Amino acid sequence: MFSRSAKNAQSNLPKPPTIPARSGSQGPAPARPESFPVDPAATTGISVIGNDLTILGEKITIISQNKLLIDGHVQGDVHGKQVVISKDGSVTGKVCAETIEVRGSVRGSIRALTVTLHESAKVEGDIVHQTLSIVEGAAFDGRVQRTKDPSELMPILDAEAIASQSGNDSDEASHYGTYTDDASLN
Residue 39 lies in a domain: no
pLDDT > 60? residue 43: no
Residue 15 lies in a domain: no
Number of domains observed in the structure of the chain: 1
Determine the average pLDDT of the residues in 64-93: 96
pLDDT > 50? residue 25: no
Supply the mean pLDDT for the chain.
Answer: 78
Chain-centre distance for alpha carbon 156: 13
pLDDT tens figures, 101-135: 999 999 999 999 999 999 999 999 999 999 999 99
Determine the average pLDDT of the residues in 55-78: 94
Please, what is the Cα angle at 84 between 78 and 89, to 5 degrees?
Answer: 80
Determine the average pLDDT of the residues in 53-71: 93
Residue 31 lies in a domain: no
* Residue 168 banded pLDDT, cuts 50, 70, 90: low
- Give the integer Cα–Cα distance in Å for 97 and 116: 12
Residue 54: predicted pLDDT: 94
Residue 8 lies in a domain: no
Residue 89 lies in a domain: yes
> How far is the CA of 79 from the CAs of 12, 16, 98, 136, in angstroms?
51, 41, 9, 27
Residue 148 lies in a domain: yes
- Give the integer Cα–Cα distance in Å for 144 and 129: 8
Where are any strands of DSSP class E within the chain? 46-49, 54-55, 61-70, 73-75, 77-85, 90-92, 95-102, 105-107, 110-117, 122-124, 127-134, 139-141, 144-146
Range of the domain at 105: 44-165
Whether the model pTM is above 0.85: no
Residue 34 lies in a domain: no
Query: Using an 8 Å Cβ cutoff, are 71 and 86 in contact?
Result: yes
- Give the integer Cα–Cα distance in Å for 129 and 115: 7
Residue 139 lies in a domain: yes
Residues in the chain: 186
pLDDT > 80? residue 22: no
